[in-house]
Structure 1
Amino acid sequence: MRPRRSLWAALAALTMLATVAAAVSAESLGTPGWLAAAAGVLVTITLSVIGWLLERQNGQEAPSTKPEPRRRVPAVHEVRDRLTFNIHAAIPLNEPASEALSDVYPTYIQRDIDITLRAWLKERTHDAGLVVLVGPTAAGKSRTLFEALHAELRDWRLRMPTNGTELDDLIRHEPNLDSTVILLEEMQDYFTSQPLTAHRVKSLLLGKAGRVLIAATIRPVDIEAIVGPQTGIAQEMNKDADQVMKMLADSSSWRPGGAERAIRLDLKPHLSTTEQARAAEVAQRDPRVAQARDRASEHAVIPTLAGTTELIRHWTGEGNEQGQAVITAAVIARRCGHPDILPEAVLVAVGGALLAGRKAAPDTADWFPAAAGWAQQPVRGQITALRQVRTQAGRIDGYYVSDILVGHSIDEQHPHVTAALAADTTWRQLIDVATHQACGDIGSAAYRVGRREIAESAWARAADRADKPAMRRLALLLYENGERTRARYWLDRGVAEQDPVAMTLLASIEDHEGRPERAEALLAEAVEQGDIYAMGQLGFLLRIHGRGEEAESWYARAAESGDANAMTNLGYAFLQRDDLDGAESWTQRAAGLGHAGAMQNMAVICRRKGDITGRRKWLQRAAETGYALAKGDRRRIDPWPGEAGDEGISNSILEYAAALLADGDPDESLLWYRRGSELGDSRCAAAAAALLDSDDLRVRAAELAYENLRLNRADLRGSYGHDVGVEPHLAIMRTYATTLRAAGHEPEALLWDARVSRLADPNVPAEGSREVWHPGSWRWRSEPI
């Protein structure tokens, strides 16, 4: 029996008992007076119990992971309010104007990306897609997306999940989402404490839920925050965001009719020359645009329309000191990773500390309402620095600070914000008053800026309340710190809470410590919990322990669920047994998801089939994709992860350059060898040195080889074996030692001989470093001692 049915059964019994007692007392059967009175009391008690039980039921019932009961989902054209699309309020119409002008939206200025965006959206009527608009605050991302969706997909349904978990649940419980736009404003928020998983996005792009468009916006600074190094804790925090961003093709590579299902479009806050001409035309019809053009510096018309100047003046100019402290506190809290809805307690604590630090502490304890009231005053029209957030009548959930001010604090290094972020006390004050859910995000923000102790404190507070991401991140931090017993405790707790990611992390440690059977059981349990990555990891575990056929079956299950790495591994398994059709099927699907290694494997398949043109095309695509990914985020290659850890980027560039040279194009070949060298690949540097007969490049090749082995020797050996993974880099170092000796530089040659000797022996640690196992990536990494 369900809990609520049990409750009503109990209530019915109590009510019946009270009714019977009252009835008995009402009969003229000589019932004593005390019984009649007692009956009345029993009825009163019964009603009170009913109320108490209902309140208790409402308060304690576990929230369902399923979406709420079906409500009508609006079409895109039915949603016109700006807050849904996170569009900034605009400067008002200050004079009588044409009735054709909207009071809410200034007349739209067509952007240069509109042609590409709208053409790409039209093609989504045939398949699924992901579009991400990237630009700084107030660049016009949300308005551009709003106008394009209303123009091209106006009759599609519009879904607006509030976090990654809600989106995961929506996809899981409503497998048919055909003709649906899923709007992810501030995309970075979907990868925090309730993260969107990359395999869900991949599943949608493969059309498993029908024609679905994921439409998102994000700022460049937020991309830097959520996409980072893929080792240790950073890999656990960043892997989903990293994989999703890697799916995106640059708009310059897309052509009408092209196959790209995921695309990135960039917007600048300053209008281009052609956009300025359009703005001039619009200004003749809309006085707001005319005002913005007159007042904007460096053609920043869009930020001016959003009242950027007035907002900054309200915050930093002459004004109410306590109100401005509240705004500063809100900006600081957001910069520390707090979710965008800020409780009053957070603003009181941080704002009060700011005032106290200036020797301007409030005279009374009830200072906040007046200060918050001033902070919320419109600076022009409906534009405010701070606004209340209410989801229920009569209750304030918290406050939202304008993201224009958050962006300004980053761009201009606001002194009070910068000083506060540099002080541990600010972070600890915030942790003390924030909810445990918010502490999980604060811990992640602290870790990203190198504040490991703060991260530990924040994650510990969240982990105490069974926050799953916080438990596993705390465990990884403790593991990195050498506190293995405490790390195991938190991973065990995560497993007990049925966290599949904790299971995969613990499986990595169990296998590393010689317990593969336990590792296999944990991964199998994670698969039961629905973790797609665990399928691929289980395949990997079985493969390295010699159980190839079983591994392949798990790769197949993971590949069917949208895991690009599993698709690549499965395709490679088919390739190894010369099943070229099977290899091509899975490898091409992985390549379509942006996997550079899969693109390189497609070139191998084309070569086996005798398709020279196809081989050249895939080599070029693999090299260009890999190079763009590496250049787009230096943290992919700094420190250099080696060819075992860069998802095929360096191998793709190396092979493409070699193909160009073989085809008689040494200039283009040299360009790509130089590009590989620029990223950190010693093999490319050595090839360039040979082409140019350059001593400088020989020096660079040797130094890169040494650094690669110093950082990645164990990983290279584990992935490729000594002969393929380690020996090519040793050979480059030996060649350089020979060159030095021939030039009469014997001491330097002996130094390189010693380095080769040391790095050739797996039992001798690399100079100045130690090899550390990273559970999150199932990889060895060398770290400085």
Structure 2
Amino acid sequence: MDEESVERIAARAAMHHAREASTGARRPGAPAPPARPAAVRNTVSGGSVHGPVIQADTISTVTIQAPAFPSAVPDPETWPVAENLDPVTFGVRPAERVPGRRAAPPYILRARDGDLDTALEQAAQDGGLVLVIGEPFAGKTRTALAGMADQLRGFRVFAPARGTDLRGLPALLNGRRGRYAVWLDDLDGYLDDGEGRLEPRLLAQLAALKAVVVGTMREDAYDACRAAPHGRVLDLARIVELAREWSPSEREQVFLAHDGDPRLADAARSSGPVGVAAYLTLSPLLWEEWWRARRADRHPRGHALVRAALDLARCGLTGPLPMDLLLKVHEGYADVTGLERESAEDALAWAVARRHGLLPLLVRVTGDTWRAAPILVEAAARHDELPAVPGPVWGCALETARTDPAYDYGEVAAAARAAFRRAADDGDTTALHSLGLLAESLGQGEEAEQWFRRAAAAGEARSAGRIGRLLAERGEDRAAEPFLETAAEAGDAEAATLLGKLLQARAERCFKAGARHGSPEAAQLLGDLRLARGDVDNALYSYLDAAWAQYEPVARSMGLIHLLWREHKVAEVWLRRAADSGDACAADFLDPLSVDTLERAVEFFQDDAERRGFDASNLGVLLEEHGRPGEARPWYLKGYEQGDAYGAFRLAELHKKDGDDAEAGTWYRKAAAMGHPGAKRAFGEAPEP
């Protein structure tokens, strides 16, 4: 007998001892095999949990006849004994695989074990049928096998395959001195109308030989068979009903067992009305269905949606998660392809469907918030094939934890740091960058810089951009430039802009030096830089230096600066000079120098004014400047509605001209809120509305 059987028998004995002590009843020991009479006249007897089955005082003559067909039943002496039956081999669905653990966790005592033991004790004495019924996944098979191991110790057990002709069993067992049982899991499969099924006469023959038949049935199958002619044998059964939902005392037995099996502990905590047995059985089934759904021809988006909730829970976000967050995260799994084949609606419907009518993969909490089913979260800790949480998912988790008071950001950050370190040790350079960002978010500037430098050295362009910015902020422009250039070449727009500004500043210093030492080209280029940033006066001085040196290319620049001052005649001279020197750009400015009519100007802006706020506001300015403020007002409003703060500013100015200071203040406030500098200056002068 194996170690589990010994522990199980000891536990059940302790439970029954406590029951006997409280009731005064004495439980007899396992019955000794009775002496077999020489005659075939036997006493058929029994009792029932719900009522009599075959009355104990009924005496009948049962004639055992050899069958007229050859028997395919193996020699009874080769049948295994009840206490050595492997649960999984004899019908128990395996729980989730855990290294070092058996496929079926240790048996936990159920509240109906006492009734089952009584029925099996009586059947061991008198023969007959004991039947455990209940809802699917109630644990019927495991409970019945555990009861057999306890109460039918020493019985040899035959578990026939479906369709086996059972009529030869009585003749095969007749005259043998051993004790025998027949195990019929899902009994309804042995009650059909075919020959050799279990029916009342066959059961009576087996009972006359003190053989025990033990079976299980789902409640719906039991009800269906009771209404059918072939279900009359159920009238003779001792029935034990088993509930799927476990009581608090049954759950407590899990923790009293001190076995330490994590599958049992998780099931006892999380199964709820589903019941521990169902939870253990469904865990591997749900996990397998979800994991295989990642294929492009199955439910890839549904898989990714559930995975997003599962990974966020692994990050520490075990509370309700908004669907927007799940949708954002689920798009980022590089190893899941074919998302476009499944809509988000279909994916959600697949994820929330209850498997076997009991458990979904994704659970709605309240409103549009969700969480991964606990059965998946608990199983994830035991599955090595599940990839580590990707860095971007950790980023979303950290961002959520930082803004949601329901979570402890420090705890999530600590878990993220450990995950990033493991990934970095495995050669993931993006994890080095993530460690830098994490340290930065915690105010650990020196540590952040160290991580960014390591990541940049490993080729991480984002980290190069970070280092470049840090150095630029400290005034170390030359040291920042190579880092910014690396980031800019990788597509970092901010790094490219900052690098351009640094190079522009360096270029200006170089042009100043060149102009100071007599280079007219440097003087012109210095003027262009100054003009670009609005320093018109100093730009002119630089252009004049180049002109006095008779540097011909400066002619176009001189023409442009006079255009800015509306000195069209002077500008035309300079631009004509440049055009005659072959400057095509200058020639374009000459034809024409400005827009001739209001109508042409309106056409110029109106082309894009309907969809671009700048042009809408500019069109309003054009109309207002030509004495048409009423027509300008709707264009200013359109510009504001399209995000142009200048439109709001111009509306404020119109209201101020009209003497409506309250409305002007409202629009100044709106423009200032959008960042318009003129509105910010004017807002203090405008009366409060």
Same fold per TM (> 0.5)?
no
Q: TM-score, length-normalised on structure 1?
A: 0.29
**1 or 2, which has the higher helix percentage?**
1
Larger RCO, structure (CA 8 Å, separation 6 or more): 1
Q: TM-score, length-normalised on structure 2?
A: 0.32
